[in-house]
Chains A and B, each alone.
Chain A
Amino acid sequence: MNKILLIIKREYLTRVRKKTFVISTLLFPLLYLGLIFGTGYIAAKSGSNLRIAIIDSSGYFDKGKIERENLQDSSTVLSLVSLPADSLRTNFSTMGYDGYIVIPAKVDWETGIKKLPFHTSRTLSLDGAVPLKRKLNNIWNTVKNEKLGIDETKKKVLEESEISVETENVNDTTANSGTASAMGIIAAILIYFILMIYGSQVMMGVMEEKTTRIAEVIISSVKPFQLMLGKIIGIGLVALTQVLLWITFIFVIYNVTKATGAASSMSGMIGGIQKVFTSTNISLITCCFVFYLIGGFFFYASMFAAIGSAVNEDMREAQSLSFPLMMPIIFSIVTMQVVIKDPTSALSVWGSIIPFTSPIYMMARIPFGVPGTVPWWQLGLSMLSLIGGFIFTTWFAGKIYRTGILMYGKKPSWKEMMKWAFRKN
């Protein structure tokens, strides 16, 4: 036992003292925020800036309405021209336009225009014509409002009378579906990253011991299983440290900004965090998160260790053997959206009980409410099967590890590794 503690201590300290740990701990949240805001920003800005000529034969689209729209949104500029359509067809690009639209003469404001062809020489993306469509419809609405005699006040009344629906679970009023999905996504993605990054760290660590040939020196002092377990626990604690640091950051930022009265630029995010704290069962979610983080890590890490022990210096061998192990992790993160859309479907329920997918699936479901969405028996069963699962994988991997760590030479096949696992001592 004492020896495992020594190993854990070494594994933990050598990693936490590294510069890369400090840097990644600080940088990851920034990158993560950058990713969220960055994609939002890019998505907002990605509409093409088009210059479009409009030939209006109907008389509804006058210069004043078009100019007003251009003032509100300058990303796509419409300009009214009075040229014959034929000459515009040949000349629009030399005149500096990206395309043109012809409004036909016979248009009835009551029935409207179903479809207008946009003549252009460019191939636009799926969303490329959205700003154009929005502008044309805004103008067309103004036209209709005028015809119907709706003034600004009436218009305001019309637009503000929308009813929105918010689901409220009768069993658990704290579970808000919007916040829940956001929390589920964040928790699941974090677990995904930890499993992938720290799982491969375990594999690399074992490979390092094997390729530097220190493995045999160590296992003449400790049992191979102790060495493997010490390494997994040590690296697991590194992962836990990192995640707890991140959670602390969030608490600190939250409290500091709340105390200083919250800078207005941050208020949206802070408001979001505040909502998380008040509208969900945050302590249960945090506890479950830590449990599934550790459980999932143990479940996978020992198998990563077994693979690390089986291969030699060649990284490609390690990649090809670890790929089947990464598949269920990748599968669960890819299909997580389905779980968040319907957290009570059969896939969600069983996926969150089977230990291969449960760490990610269950964390995606729990924010929707326990016991509202996730009954206690499901949570209990899922936790038990994860505990059982990691005891089994650790035992199983230990047997492969014991043989693999001393084997040099060719890469073993899966069949040979199975033989190692089921062989007597």
Chain B
Amino acid sequence: MPILELHHLRKYFATQKAVDNISLNIEQGQIFGLLGPNGAGKTTLIRMITGIFYPDEGEIIFDGKKFDPINDIRKIGYMPEERGLYKKMKIGEQTEYLAQLKGLKKSDATKKIKEWFVKFDMQTWWNKKVEDLSKGMQQKLQFVTTVLHEPKLIILDEPFSGLDPVNTNLIKDEIYSLAQKGATIIFSTHRMEQVEEICDHIALVNKGQKILDGTVKQVKQEYKENLFKVNFTDKITPEHLAIHLFEVKEKKETEVVIKVDPGYSNNDVLQYFITKGLRIESFNEILPSLNDIFIRLVKGTPTARQFQEIKA
């Protein structure tokens, strides 16, 4: 059962169709990548899911019921891209305050914070103020405040920006373990290599519309170009490659990248090389990276979104 269903969501602002008819299903336990260029409408979409904005049109079903911002909000943990903390407040107190706002009792909050602080090696922070922390340390603290109340749905907007590799791994592992325990994670970013590594499922949003939706594997299959890399033990000559089965994209001494003609199978190609007496070392399909797909799909749209007049 999906934990979150979005049905034809729309949100128009004075000069932008920020979200224009987006529907999505997110299954429980998924790590869902929400991708899109700057200004695509990701933040507006997330703000509707977190109850900050009301959709102009459409429906949000959360955990099987119509989304009720006032009560469901405690089942959601949201780490916005524009995030911060009260600079002058003590860290322990501040974390307790944010947890209480999410509906935790103070004693429970304190207990859980202590556990997380031990886990993230932050025990000595309790009486320090936020202004004493570096940006990366603040980020860790923000992650803790986001997941502390054990939300069913965790929304992370660019969670790794400004983190060093060690802390990135720490948070990444935590995301995996939260997903394993049954939490659903929406992960919004434009860092494609992270998406490829972490997410099961992705959706690509551009100009307020969903232009792609599926598992990472499916998407890659869908956008593959039948490219294969073949390595040989022997040197290859131009005569070897003059054949209608494939088109050569790149050629080195013992390596070629070929685009197989859709009318033929991989076996036909291998058969051909074997009959030519070439010794094959390896034969690999080249799948497009999400980065390539992203750029291909978004290309052609202006790098900055244009303002437009909306007649509601």
Contact = CB atoms under 8 A, between A and B. Distances in A.
Interface of A: 3, 6-7, 10, 14, 208, 212-214, 216-223, 406, 408, 419, 425
A425 B54 CA distance: 7
B14 A419 contact: yes
Contact of A213 (B54, B74, B84, B102): B84
A226 to B, nearest CB: 10
A214 B83 contact: yes
Interface centre among B70, B82, B89 (most CB of A within 10 A): B82
B50 A217 contact: no
B82 A213 contact: yes
B163 interface: no
Interface residues of B, number: 28
Nearest to B76: A220
A10 B97 CA distance: 8
The 5 closest A-B pairs by CB, nearest first: A213-B84, A212-B84, A221-B101, A220-B78, A216-B80
Contacts of A217: 78-80, 83-85, 98, 142, 145
17 contacts: A14-B86, A14-B89, A212-B85, A212-B86, A213-B80, A216-B82, A216-B83, A218-B98, A218-B101, A219-B52, A220-B51, A220-B73, A220-B80, A221-B73, A221-B74, A222-B101, A223-B70
B135 to A, nearest CB: 12
A151 B82 CA distance: 89
B110 interface: no
Interface of B: 14, 47, 50-52, 54, 70, 73-74, 76, 78-80, 82-89, 97-98, 100-102, 142, 145
Given A221-B102, A406-B47, 20 more contacts: A6-B97, A6-B101, A7-B101, A14-B89, A212-B84, A212-B87, A214-B86, A216-B52, A216-B83, A217-B78, A217-B83, A217-B84, A217-B142, A217-B145, A220-B50, A220-B52, A220-B73, A221-B98, A222-B101, A223-B70
B138 to A, nearest CB: 10
Contacts of B145: 217
A223 B79 CA distance: 16
B98 A213 contact: no
A212 B131 CA distance: 11
Contacts of A7: 101
Interface centre among A216, A408, A419, A425 (most CB of B within 10 A): A216
Nearest to A14: B89
Nearest to A416: B14
Contacts of B86: 14, 208, 212, 214
A208 B98 CA distance: 17
A425 B51 CA distance: 12
A219 B80 CA distance: 11
A3 B101 contact: yes
Nearest to B157: A216
A217 B98 CA distance: 9
A404 to B, nearest CB: 13
Contacts of A218: 98, 101
Nearest to B131: A212
Contacts of B101: 3, 6-7, 218, 221-222
A248 B101 CA distance: 35
B36 to A, nearest CB: 19
B78 A14 contact: no
Contacts of A419: 14
A47 to B, nearest CB: 50
Contacts of A406: 47, 52
Contacts of B142: 217
Contacts of B98: 217-218, 221
A223 to B, nearest CB: 8
A3 B101 CA distance: 6
Contact of A6 (B54, B84, B100): B100
A223 B70 CA distance: 8
A3 B99 CA distance: 11
B42 to A, nearest CB: 14
Interface centre among A213, A220, A222, A406 (most CB of B within 10 A): A220
Contacts of B83: 213-214, 216-217
A408 B82 contact: yes
Contacts of B85: 212, 214, 217
A214 B84 contact: yes
Contacts of B70: 223
A318 to B, nearest CB: 18
Contacts of B76: 220
Nearest to A218: B101
A23 B39 CA distance: 48
A96 B198 CA distance: 95
Nearest to A425: B54
A10 B106 CA distance: 13
Nearest to A18: B88
Nearest to A216: B80
A208 B88 CA distance: 11
A214 B87 CA distance: 10
A133 to B, nearest CB: 59
A6 B102 CA distance: 11
Nearest to B47: A406
A398 to B, nearest CB: 15
A327 B102 CA distance: 40
Contacts of A222: 101
A262 B52 CA distance: 62
B84 A14 contact: no
A14 B88 CA distance: 9
Contacts of B87: 208, 212
Contacts of A3: 101
Contacts of B80: 213, 216-217, 220
B153 to A, nearest CB: 12
B269 to A, nearest CB: 54
A220 B100 CA distance: 13
Contacts of A212: 84-87
